[in-house]
Structure 1
Amino acid sequence: MTKPRIVFVIFEGFQPLDLVGPYEVFQHAGRHSDGFSCQIVAPTAGPVRTRGGLPVHAEYGVADLDPRGIDTLVAVGGEGVDQARHHRALVDWIAAAGAQARRVTSVCSGVFLLAAAGLVDGCRVTTHWSRGEQLAREQPGLRVDCDPIFIRDGRVWTSAGVTAGMDLALALVEDDLGRAVAHAVAQELVLFLRRPGSQSQFSVPLWSRQPSSDPIRAAVATIHADPGARHAVADLAAQAGLSPRHLQRRFTAELGTPPAGYVERVRVEAARRALSEGDDPVEAIARRYGFGTAETLRRSFHRQVGVTPSDYRDRFRTVSGEPRSAL
């Protein structure tokens, strides 16, 4: 029986983890099934340097590899994608291969290659958070959503940056071979159990803008210092030496979200860490971080993260851990 062909597209200046992480997931999946045939293609065969200068051998150049018969096409990302997406022979090959492949995928900024090849027109896609605005601006026909770590839109799968490529690969393995195989692969690679695609790629330092004034910096520092404390606008305003109305206006202007929304995100992030790193009951975490009740935490957590606290804990416990109590 012919193994499904998975072809990775690389180029000068690509991000090595975008290739190596998913590649290893597929290789390990082969230990529990008939496996996959993984191939690497570049503009020309031979050594291709990563963004850090590490040479990786591409087995094929685009002139050497038949674009027909590919099961899954994987376009990796990296700083070099801005040059690669203007390489006519590479883009033409991706277009031909992707048009016939059962599945078209990208990791990180690899979605720019798929877009250049016309393979994702009208699709909902994601990419590394730092590239989202550029992608939306350059490709107005795409529905760009940089919150999820990966998105499936029909046969098109796109993921956020770097390690999210492994989450995407585990999802593809589960889609093809079932949850048991995906779980076994996660164990072998000492990964957390597969994150759902709706899981946000943002942690607090990423989603938060940097405040530009001292009063708002002080308010932000107060919130982060003790997420579970009472952070009413009046209290934050008094500390910052502003009226509540003025604080509300400046806070929203500088950070893009009102104080209440910011406090909620900081609290959810604190709860997320507590769920993944400890065994405290959900009710205790809710009280500690200012939610009051487990139900309030559940609603806020699902709104911000895309899953419930219990699902998050189940999926993010280490593979050696025991299942924990659920909400």
Structure 2
Amino acid sequence: MTSKTAKLASCPTHARLVVFVVYPNIVLLDLVGPLQVFSHAPDLETGRNGYDCVVVSVDGGSVGTNTIVSIPTVSAASIADRDIHTLVVVGGDGAIPGMKDPKLVATVTALTARAQRTCSVCSGALVLAATGALDGRRVVTHWDDCRMLADEFPRVQVEMDPIFIKDGSIWTSAGITAGIDMALAIVAEDLGRASSFSVARSMVVQMVRSGGQSQFSPALGRQLRDRAGQFEALHVWMVDNLHLPLSVETLADQMNMGARNFARVYANVMGITPAKAVEAMRVEKAQHALETTERSIKQIAASFGFKTEDRMRRAFLRLLNVSPSDYRQNFHLP
């Protein structure tokens, strides 16, 4: 256990200071998503809010975002005498010039040295990497910035897929709304899962996602591969009919194509066979049912075409590396 991790584990139950670092042209949601989580996370043991939040910039004052809204901030120097529990470097288009701004990099470096936990949201990883704090660390950022992060900072171990990664006292998240997932996971670590679920419910967040989940939703992944929309109508029909035996012949009939030709064209466009696409959709729907309903695993398996619990279990292990029962235990929202 590192010294910072030990400090986190022994942190008293009074409000923990969360410092958000902003600079010109941030993405507004990169800030306000995690800010909303920390601002309303209850410490169920004390009955008070678990965090005290402050937004800082290099010199203080109003900072512009990528919207019409500007953010009031205090200077980083104004909190020099306060202990920082969690530091969050916000992302946005301003991160690209920001990672080369000596004053911003020096400010974030000094704040990181005082923080028990340091985080970045989206492209905020570029600014944080410029301080050297990410050297040798596994990190993630928005998929569109992963190449730049790897090229600019070759000592950083960039991963493209996860929605967030925790490496010791360093947390990094993928694009925009993934910052909410990271913040909820931090609340769960600090205050317990009940507190995290309470915030998620109040924000009408569908679920508390683990960092290992992909920043590419299955539906988005299908759309990215099928850019011409050749199979868009078919995919809608498949999702609505997963209880049916969706053979290649059945899918081909929906496309008015021969089975052999359909299988070949589908695999070329989508990168997977029709059978694997059906299995992925069934797992996706079963995940949602496990998260949000009290239906038994047997009922869910039957509803989405798995036929048996064992077939559903094998599909979950293949695609998610977790059993349906373990998935429900980790992600079910009571």
The reply on whether 1:7 has 2:7 as its aligned counterpart is no
Aligned to 2:177: 163
Q: Which stretch of structure 1 is more off in the superposition, 216-225 or 125-134? A: 216-225
DSSP-derived class of the 1:71 partner = strand
Q: Corresponding residue for 1:262?
A: 277
Structure 2 residue runs of 5 or longer lacking an equivalent are 1-11
Aligned length: 317
Matched, 1:23 2:35: yes
Distance, in Å, in 2 between the alignment partners of 1:299 and 1:116 is: 43
In 2, Cα distance between equivalents of 1:64 and 1:167: 29
The question of whether the paired residues in 2 share the 8 Å contact of 1:147 and 1:202 is answered with yes
SS in 1 for 2:213: coil
Of 128, 132, 142, 1:118 maps to 132
Q: Residue 42 of structure 2 contacts residue 195 of structure 2 at CA under 8 Å; is this kept in 1?
A: no
Q: Return the TM-score normalized by structure 2.
A: 0.77
Cα distance, 1:46 vs structure 2? 1.0
Cα distance change on mapping 1:85 and 1:260 into 2, 3 Å: farther
1:90 deviates by 0.7
Distance 1:214 1:204, change over 3 A: closer
- Residue 202 of structure 1 is matched in structure 2 by 216
TM-score by length of 1: 0.78
Deviates more, 1:298-307 or 1:16-25: 298-307
- 8 Å CA contact retained: 1:14, 1:78: yes
Q: Given the alignment of the two structures, is residue 275 of structure 1 paired with residue 290 of structure 2, yes or no?
A: yes
CA deviation profile, 1:216-245 (whole Å, cap 9, x unmatched): 66765664453344444465557564673x
- d(CA) in 2 for partners of 1:191, 1:234: 38
Hey, what does 2:59 align to over in structure 1?
Answer: 44
| Cα distance change of structure 1 residues 69 and 215 upon mapping to structure 2, 3 Å threshold | closer
Q: Per the alignment, do residues 145 and 212 of structure 1 end up closer, same or farther by CA in structure 2, a change over 3 Å counting? A: same
Taking a change above 3 Å as real, the CA distance of residues 108 and 308 of structure 1, as seen in their structure-2 partners, is farther
* In 1, Cα distance between equivalents of 2:83 and 2:29: 26
Q: What is the distance in 1 between the residues matched to 2:256 and 2:151?
A: 37
Which of 277, 280, 284 is residue 299 of structure 2 equivalent to?
A: 284
Q: Give the counterpart letter for 1:26 in structure 2.
A: F
Give the whole-Å Cα distance in 2 for the aligned partners of 1:125 and 1:114.
11
1: CA distance, partners of 2:229 / 2:185: 44
Deviations 1:155-200 (A, max 9, x none): 1111233333233223223323334544554455565563332234
Give 1:9 shift: 0.9
Aligned-residue sequence identity (percent) comes to: 39
